[in-house]
A = this chain, B = another copy of it.
Amino acid sequence: MLLSEKLQLLRQNMANQGVHACIISSNDPHLSEYPANHWKIREWISGFTGSAGTLVITENQAGLWTDSRYHIQASEQLDNNLIQLFKEGLPEVPEIPKWLSQNLKSGQTVGINNALFSDSFTMELTDKLKVNNINTVRNFIAPEEIWEMRPPLPNDIITDISEDLSGFSRIGKLNLVREEMKKTGINYYISAALDEIAWVLNLRGTDVKYNPVFYAYFIISLDEAWLFVNPEKLSKKISHKLSNDKITILQYDFFNIFLEKLPLGAAVLADSKRTNAAIIENVSKIYKIKKEDSIITNLKAIKNETEIKNIYKTMIKDGVAMVNFLCWLYKNIEKEEITELSASKKLLEFRKEQSDFLGESFETISAYKEHGAIVHYAVNQDTDMSLKKEGIYLTDSGGQYLTGTTDITRTIALGKNPEQAKIDYTLTLKGHIALATAVFPVGTRGVQLDVLARKELWKNGLNYLHGTGHGIGYYLNVHEGPQSIRTQENPVTLKTGMVTSNEPAIYRAGEYGIRIENLILCIEKEETSFGKFLTFETLTLCPLDKKLIMKDLLTQEEVDWINNYNKKVYEKLAQELNCESKEWLKLATEQI
């Protein structure tokens, strides 16, 4: 079907149902970062394949809102005659509710499928539209209904992970959750977030790329639990184990029906940020709902001793793969044809050599020269560029290991480099070090620390428009909550055991991008009469490119940090490397 035909059919359906505009989400009902193809309705209609973006269709207009990561991609993929691109983040671009208020008339109606939106989004939308007397219909599924050849839900098998890897038995985790439920008087706790379900059940899946999760819903009471999943995905052995832990398995589709059958008067907890609006709405009609923070998300973020022990091992494996890759790249550049695409494939090969490696944790960014300035650059055969002994190369990649998830960015100089790139790299590194070495009292939020990574950039009239740090899962999603280190307020405080990324950057459009990303573990530092103080331990093990470091711009403390870091990298990785890589690493980690 052509785009014009899709739009015509949809508008007919809208008119039949008295809807004057509809909002089409890129979410699945679990608000996943990577939805299965079954849910990619926005992509099917608009042709835009980016992971984030919302389509709005009115009787005579259509617009796609997407963030700065996708401004270029969307402008290439969209038919601009039929769908207008709204570049989120630019000051002149209105938010969707505002745009709808300006383009609809009083008394008109907006349709959304609220199973594909967060409760907070639909609440805000409804409130803002109401001011202008615009109604919302919340169960509008005409877009899905016109979808021909819709892909089915994935049906991949589910595996379980042992206590050696998870650190806690399934029942142990459920009991932790139940303790929290008791504290706040919760009878039933609904989890719709796929990584929460995977974590609490010590199960993993392959339903989507990069995130080792499976499609399911989960409800926990104080003595039972119900997993809504296609039972064919589970082996008999796992089904039996779940049954032993008093977990009943029910069909995925049965979730909404089951919800309505909970005992009257039950107090139900659902995290309004991690549960779709349809569930929240249905539950709110019948039960006392508490839209608090998700218990599992909060427990999951604090890595336990076993997980941390395994993460240390994982960092060695991933560091070895990265060092092998960098050594190979330096040695072979201009000897063989190396492109952005072939480099990222080679990096994957080196990761595959590592034990317990299961796949990439997100799509590798392999970005040469000006491509590095495109924050979420995804190389393809049309854009692929050959690497030469010049310019800046940025690679942001990560792996899923049975023993943890990694996410690392290194920026390297492939030849001689102008002063400006060295200054930019060094300023970025100063920010990276300032965050890595931060000390802060218990109770500190990420927003309070973000400036440490940016201060030196700001002094030089530079900045980056993304966050500085995101939480990361343990053999789970590479992006997880609840903590973050960014300019936006997030009430979650940083706690010992949390693993977060540290990734300041500078992007010079048309020239290059520089980003330095390590994972950092929040640990205790000391307790004084002024309270308990925390700090970070850098986990990622991979040298920093000395050619890009301008020592003159560094303080002695910063020089010491770099030397200590490189020394630690060598000590941890050397014995795992072959002679060639070891020799290369020796030089790469020499003191500056």
Task: Check A157 for interface membership: any CB of B closer than 8 A.
Answer: no
* Contact among B441, B448, B455 with A463 in the assembled complex (CB-CB below 8 Å): B441
* Contact among B438, B447, B526, B533 with A447 in the assembled complex (CB-CB below 8 Å): B447
Q: How far is the CA of A458 from the CA of B530 in the complex (A)?
A: 9
Task: Check A299 for interface membership: any CB of B closer than 8 A.
Answer: no
Q: How far is the CA of A441 from the CA of B447 in the complex (A)?
A: 15
On chain B, the residues within 8 Å of A530 by CB distance are 461-463
On chain B, the residues within 8 Å of A444 by CB distance are 487
Q: How far is the CA of A459 from the CA of B528 in the complex (A)?
A: 11
Beta-carbon nearest neighbor of A444 in chain B? B487
Q: How far is the CA of A459 from the CA of B463 in the complex (A)?
A: 25
Q: How far is the CA of A378 from the CA of B487 in the complex (A)?
A: 38
On chain B, the residues within 8 Å of A448 by CB distance are 447-448, 450-451, 487
Q: A130-168 CB contact bits vs B (8 Å, 1 = yes)?
A: 000000000000000000000000000000000000000
Task: Check A531 for interface membership: any CB of B closer than 8 A.
Answer: yes
**Interface residues in chain A, defined as those with a beta carbon under 8 Å from any beta carbon in chain B:** 438-441, 444, 447-452, 455, 458-459, 461-463, 487, 489, 491, 509, 525-526, 528-531, 533, 555
On chain B, the residues within 8 Å of A459 by CB distance are 439
> Whole-angstrom distance from the CB of A94 to the nearest CB of chain B?
15
Counting every copy of the chain, the complex holds 2
Q: How far is the CA of A530 from the CA of B444 in the complex (A)?
A: 28
On chain B, the residues within 8 Å of A463 by CB distance are 441, 530-531
Q: How far is the CA of A167 from the CA of B462 in the complex (A)?
A: 35
Beta-carbon nearest neighbor of A534 in chain B? B458
> Whole-angstrom distance from the CB of A488 to the nearest CB of chain B?
10
Beta-carbon nearest neighbor of A442 in chain B? B91
Q: List 5 A-B contacts (CB under 8 A).
A: A439-B455, A439-B458, A461-B533, A489-B491, A509-B529
* Contact among B441, B461, B462 with A458 in the assembled complex (CB-CB below 8 Å): B441
The answer to whether A440 touches B452, judged by C-beta atoms less than 8 angstroms apart, is no
Q: How far is the CA of A448 from the CA of B533 in the complex (A)?
A: 19
The answer to whether B461 touches A526, judged by C-beta atoms less than 8 angstroms apart, is yes
The answer to whether A440 touches B461, judged by C-beta atoms less than 8 angstroms apart, is no
* Contact among B438, B458, B526 with A440 in the assembled complex (CB-CB below 8 Å): B458
Known contacts A439-B455, A448-B450, A489-B491; 20 additional CB pairs below 8 A are A439-B461, A440-B451, A440-B458, A447-B448, A448-B448, A448-B487, A449-B451, A451-B451, A451-B452, A452-B455, A458-B533, A461-B525, A461-B526, A461-B528, A461-B530, A461-B533, A462-B530, A463-B530, A463-B531, A489-B489
> Whole-angstrom distance from the CB of A552 to the nearest CB of chain B?
13
The answer to whether B528 touches A462, judged by C-beta atoms less than 8 angstroms apart, is yes
> Whole-angstrom distance from the CB of A102 to the nearest CB of chain B?
14
On chain B, the residues within 8 Å of A441 by CB distance are 458, 463
> Whole-angstrom distance from the CB of A376 to the nearest CB of chain B?
19
On chain B, the residues within 8 Å of A529 by CB distance are 509
On chain B, the residues within 8 Å of A528 by CB distance are 461-462
Q: How far is the CA of A452 from the CA of B489 in the complex (A)?
A: 17
Q: How far is the CA of A229 from the CA of B441 in the complex (A)?
A: 48
> Whole-angstrom distance from the CB of A194 to the nearest CB of chain B?
30
> Whole-angstrom distance from the CB of A186 to the nearest CB of chain B?
13
Q: How far is the CA of A115 from the CA of B459 in the complex (A)?
A: 47
Beta-carbon nearest neighbor of A450 in chain B? B448
Beta-carbon nearest neighbor of A288 in chain B? B131
Q: How far is the CA of A449 from the CA of B459 in the complex (A)?
A: 13
Beta-carbon nearest neighbor of A463 in chain B? B530
The answer to whether B489 touches A447, judged by C-beta atoms less than 8 angstroms apart, is yes
* Contact among B455, B462, B491 with A438 in the assembled complex (CB-CB below 8 Å): B455
